[in-house]
């Protein structure tokens, strides 16, 4: 004889465990709701980040042109002490701008790869 226990058929229903072997409907819905909320939040943040990423394309092009043309002269002027000490100059760090441009290229490739795999 087969009996059903929360959707699972148990032959002869001989045992009655103190806790169900599978999560209850309430536990399952609660877990799925938490996964839904988390996923929804991540997707919203990613969507906003992708919009921001698309908006900096012209800025990146300008930074690339600066790096290719004027960066070295500005870097050397800074090294020679010709710039004010209180001038913010992270763009002149030896690796800062290069790393930023490489990170941008890498992320752009990742976005393209995701687009082509859909």
The pTM score is: 0.68
pLDDT for residue 25: 87
**pLDDT for 18 beyond 80:** no
Please give the average per-residue pLDDT across 42-48, as a whole number: 96
Convert the pLDDT of each residue in 68-111 to its tens digit: 999 999 999 999 999 999 999 999 998 999 999 999 999 999 99
pLDDT for residue 14: 53
pLDDT for residue 1: 47
End-to-end, the C-alpha distance of the chain in Å comes to 49
Span of 26-30, 56-60, 65-69 with lowest mean pLDDT? 26-30
**Quick one: how far is CA 106 from the chain centroid?**
13
């Amino acid at each position: 004889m087969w009996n059903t226990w929360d959707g699972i058929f148990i032959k002869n229903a001989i045992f009655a465990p103190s806790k169900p072997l599978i999560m209850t409907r309430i536990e399952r819905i609660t877990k799925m709701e938490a996964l839904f909320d988390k996923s929804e939040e991540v997707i919203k943040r990613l969507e906003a980040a992708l919009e921001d990423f698309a908006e900096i394309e012209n800025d990146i092009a300008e930074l690339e042109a600066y790096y290719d043309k004027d960066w070295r002269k500005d870097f050397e002027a800074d090294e020679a002490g010709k710039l004010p000490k209180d001038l913010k100059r992270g763009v002149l760090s030896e690796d800062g701008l290069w790393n930023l441009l490489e990170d941008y290229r890498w992320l752009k490739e990742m976005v393209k790869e995701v687009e082509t795999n859909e």
